[in-house]
Amino acid sequence: MEQYSRVMGINFPKNTLDRTVEILSDVIQENRAELFHVITVNPEITMACQKDSSLRSIIDEAGLITADGIGIVMVSRLRGGNLPERVTGYDTLLKLLHSGNQKKWSFYFLGADPLTNEKVCEVIGEKYPDLLILGRHHGFFKQSEEDQIIEEIGSLKPDILVVALGAPYAERWIHKYKSKLNAKIAIGVGGSLDVIAGKVKATPDSWKRLNLEWLYRLIQQPSRWKRQLILPRFAVRALLFREGK
Ligand code: UDP
């Protein structure tokens, strides 16, 4: 069986969420020299890649990509690709925190607004007392502060650098500073810190099971409607896309 399913020219590995976390756990244990960049690729990023070759090469260079959202999974299935399930940044982060708590991994949390960044570290510290929070910084820093943040992360050498700066800015940021960050793994997690901190409501499991996460987010944050217009456009283009080999 093919290990990948191709959607709009991007090869998505057929990994479940659990398998994804297993791979990441191995990466941490292997102590690799290079940062392992995980990118959760959603329909917006997939569409953006069609026109933006720099973003496309960031995805091609990633250690691992995941199918972020039911849109990618459905298109894959309709085209016979059979991606097993969606692997979102939020779900991956929760599993990493859970495993990190068992295996005593160290984390650095970059991103979200200052209050949320502080709050999220309190919440995570309480819920997962055995993982190590090496440091944190909010995501609204000035250009002039950037070098210091990179230096701090680089000197702390976290197992996992969690970047909540919004996509695809987080992905570009990680890629740009990859060689200086000294993290084993870096992952962009979109608005996940907002959810863990309680600023934004988490999608209830019943909605997730019905694959209606996108609708729940739209109801919670109606300002996202413009962004979500891309979903039907993505579906049509991706289904008609002529995949090369
Ligand atoms: N954010 C940030 N710095 C910025 C812009 C955004 O830290 O300059 C944070 C924002 O507070 C939020 C996250 O990035 O926590 C983006 O959330 P969103 O749900 O928009 O994620 P996306 O789906 O765009 O990846």
pLDDT tens-digit readout, 132-168: 999 999 999 999 999 999 999 999 999 999 999 999 9
Among protein residues, the one whose CA lies closest to atom 3 of ligand 1: 139
Most informative mutation of 120, 138, 165 for ligand 1 (most atoms within 8 A of CB): 165
pLDDT for 150? 98
pTM of the model: 0.96
Distances (CA, A) of 81 to 88, 236, 244: 18, 16, 14
Most informative mutation of 46, 194, 213 for ligand 1 (most atoms within 8 A of CB): 194
The DSSP element (H or E) to which 130 belongs, if any, is none
pLDDT for 39? 98
Q: What is the CA(90)–ligand 1 centre distance, in A?
A: 13
Ligand 1 neighbour 113 (Cβ under 6 A): yes
Interatomic CA distance for residues 12 and 67, integer angstroms: 6
Q: What is the CA(94)–ligand 1 centre distance, in A?
A: 18
pLDDT band at 98 (very low <50, low <70, confident <90, very high): very high
Q: What is the CA(73)–ligand 1 centre distance, in A?
A: 24
Among protein residues, the one whose CA lies closest to atom 19 of ligand 1: 191
Among protein residues, the one whose CA lies closest to atom 16 of ligand 1: 166
User: 10's torsion region: left (phi>0), alpha (psi -120 to 50) or beta?
Assistant: beta
Q: What is the pLDDT of residues 177-212, one digit of tens each?
A: 999 999 999 999 999 999 999 999 999 999 989 989
* Mean pLDDT of the region 74-92: 94
Length of the chain counted residue by residue? 245
160: burial class by Cβ within 10 Å (0-12, 13-18, 19+)?
A: buried
pLDDT for 21? 98
Ligand 1 neighbour 194 (Cβ under 6 A): yes
pLDDT for 245? 59
Q: What is the pLDDT of residues 26-81, one digit of tens each?
A: 999 999 999 999 999 999 999 999 999 999 999 999 999 999 999 999 999 999 89
Sheet containing 106-111: order of strands: 64-67, 36-41, 185-188, 160-164, 106-111, 132-137
Q: What is the pLDDT of residues 216-244, one digit of tens each?
A: 988 888 888 888 888 899 999 999 998 87
Please name the residue ranges forming H helices in 67-142: 70-78, 89-103, 114-127
Buried b (16+ CB within 10 A) or exposed e, 234-244: beebbeebeee
Interatomic CA distance for residues 8 and 56, integer angstroms: 11
Nearest alpha carbon to residue 6 among 36, 38, 49, 37: 49
pLDDT for 32? 94
Ligand 1 neighbour 168 (Cβ under 6 A): no
Q: What is the pLDDT of residues 107-118, one digit of tens each?
A: 999 999 999 999
pLDDT for 228? 82
pLDDT band at 2 (very low <50, low <70, confident <90, very high): confident
Atom of ligand 1 nearest to the CA of 188: 25
pLDDT for 226? 82
Ligand 1 neighbour 165 (Cβ under 6 A): yes
Q: What is the CA(37)–ligand 1 centre distance, in A?
A: 18
Atom of ligand 1 nearest to the CA of 168: 25
